[in-house]
Amino acid sequence: MKNGWLYGLVFGSIWIAIKMLAFALNWKLDEIQIFVLLNMAFLTAAIALFMYRKKRNGTSESNILTDIKAGLSVGLPYTLIVSFFLFFYYRDIYPEFNQKKRAAYEQKMDSPAEIAAIRKGNSALENKSDAEIVEMARKNTAMMYDPQFTLSVSLLALLVYGTLNSLLIAVIYRRVVFRD
């Protein structure tokens, strides 16, 4: 299992290096979809490669739970290193991202049509004034673009994604690749 941590740290470090390279080159900094998909691909690849190597070189009998545990031994360090990097990235390295997103949302909130759409979309806001809706939206936006919120969400999302990946890859390896 010790090698699982190594796989997680190596693949997480590669993703961090790509993210920092994009920052240094000022390449698509405000588009997070590319980096999210790349993040998911790296986590999947790390889990799949480690589990494949472990199954290929494994001499003892294994079951589905030990396979999932092997996948999680990769997913946990990957999740930790990437999530804490994102916290420091959005807090210290590139805080302008959060400021730009908040400013864009606040500019959008200046439109009466946008406020009417928000009021129409949420029946609990029908009796609120425009100023109250704008204030609530500002608070929600400030919370969403807080680096601590990003840390919490990325920890949760990557842990769930890593667990589901471990389960899915273990089943695929058992039923298709290694046919137990």
Across the chain, which has 180 residues, the per-10-residue mean pLDDT values are 85 97 93 94 96 82 86 95 96 92 81 79 77 82 89 96 95 80
Structure tokens at 112: 């009466």
**C-alpha pair distances (Å), 130 with each of 59, 136, 139, 179:** 67, 10, 14, 62
**pTM of this structure:** 0.86
pLDDT for 148 equals: 94
AA identity, residue 9: L
Residue 60: closest CA among 48, 46, 70: 70
Number of Cβ within a 10 Å radius of residue 148: 11
